[in-house]
Amino acid sequence: MAIKEAAGLFLKRYWHSLPGNVRGAIWALIAAFTFIVVQSMTKHLGGKFDSVQIAFFRAAFGGLAVAPFLITRGLDGLRTENLGYHVGRGVFGAMALFLMVVSILHMPLAEVTVIGFTRAFFLIVLAVLFLDEKVRWRRWSATVVGFGGVTLMLRPGDEAFQLAALAALAASFCFAAAHVCIKKCTTKNDHPLTVQSWYWLIATGLTLFPALWYWVTPTWEELLFLVLLGVLSGIAQAFWAYALSAGEATFISPFDFTRLIWAGLAGVIIFGEEILLVTILGAAVIIGSNLYIARRQAVENRRARAAGKSDA
């Protein structure tokens, strides 16, 4: 009880007294580190299990956070009028998860992380097509430049690397498509945990049968590691959700780029990977484009608030 009271006092006196953007930045930094822990664990397991089996454990145990929601609400927790979008989110999410695991197992962590930042560029394209959002020429230009950064990282003549890089790029597209489906569901009055519950069920189901086909029975120690991998994956997503709920997205997003620092350190120290100059150049272009897009979004949001309408 004393510990609970002390924690409550700390939250009230210190944590909640911080500005929202500061709290959001802290959550984003923690999330970025946790995501790289998950990727490092995934890479470690790659020599023992097939990609789809790892993806299954990440999907199945990553969604445990919604179990209390479903237990307390039962089938009402799954009630929705947007089943098509939930299915779309589940399919794209499962594909993204599998493709990301494939790329992690066959590429240096730093390069997987850099290419993962391209989801913001795909999201701009998909938001225009399916969310009726308006994007001005500056953000279009930054998107084109950002994709140019990816071409710097596609090594001519290295077919195995190129296939893995294309898998990472496809994963980014699928993540962006899943985000569009989430946006559709949440704007049509679905509870966020309803959205996450449907994803848990669909992604777990889609990865289960392929995982059984390539199944390798883990030892008790490996099973614990796989379960921990899935749980940490869900925790990392929760940290990111807290970050976005506490602060402004345009302020919080740049802190996600600290993933690259942790990915580079993990790659070099744990897996003996080399950080190439082309990776640094590609990262500079992609991250620079992301930062410019975030800045333009912030400017347009301020103008929209001043004008009393959204034109972002």
Q: Average pLDDT, stretch 68-90?
A: 79
Q: In angstroms, rounded to a whole number, what is the distance separating the alpha carbons of residues 227 and 149?
A: 35
Lowest mean pLDDT among 47-51, 151-155, 291-295: 151-155
Burial class (CB in 10 A: 0-12, 13-18, 19+), 68: exposed
> What percentage of the chain reaches a pLDDT higher than 70?
86
pTM, two decimals, is: 0.82
How far is Cα 150 from Cα 165, in angstroms, rounded to an integer?
9
Q: Residue 36: what residue type?
A: I
Structural domain boundaries in the chain: 20-307
pLDDT tens digits for range 214-260:
999 999 999 999 999 988 988 888 787 778 777 776 677 778 888 88
Confidence class of residue 20 from pLDDT cuts 50, 70 and 90? confident
Distances in whole angstroms, Cα of residue 300 to Cα of each of 42, 124, 303: 39, 14, 5
**Any idea which of 9-18, 55-64, 166-175 has the lowest mean pLDDT?**
9-18
Structure token pair of residue 19: 């500005």
How confident is the model over 151-186, as pLDDT tens digits? Answer: 777 665 566 567 888 899 899 999 888 888 887 777
